Structure 1
């Protein structure tokens, strides 16, 4: 069997943590920021983990992850 290629778009968006989970950045932080509160924008800066429902999909896109 040949090696499975990594989906490069996914590799740029997700990183693997030490415990094998996937870290991701939050959405809605690129434009239309005037109406969003400072607290909301501050919380959007923080990274979070991929949801359990999406974990399998991300794992398939990153075979070496």
Structure 2
């Protein structure tokens, strides 16, 4: 049986934690910072765990990280 392929875009943007959660960067910080509040920018630093519905989709792209 051949190896399953991993989506390259997903493996560059997400990782799976030891407990199985999908970790990704916060949304809304690519451009347009001038119109966002300072509170939003502070709260959107770093990474966060994806919601279960989105995590299920991403885990399908990364078959060996389950």
Same fold per superposition (TM over 0.5): yes
Structure 2 residues not aligned, in runs of 5+: none
Q: CA RMSD in A?
A: 1.1
Please state which structure has a larger fraction of its residues in helix.
2
Please state which structure has a larger fraction of its residues in strand.
2
Stretches (4+) displaced over 3 A: none
Offset at residue 3 of structure 1 (A): 0.8
1:38-61 CA distance string (max 9 Å, x none): 111011113111111122211110
What TM-score do you get using the length of structure 2 for normalisation?
Answer: 0.86
What TM-score do you get using the length of structure 1 for normalisation?
Answer: 0.88
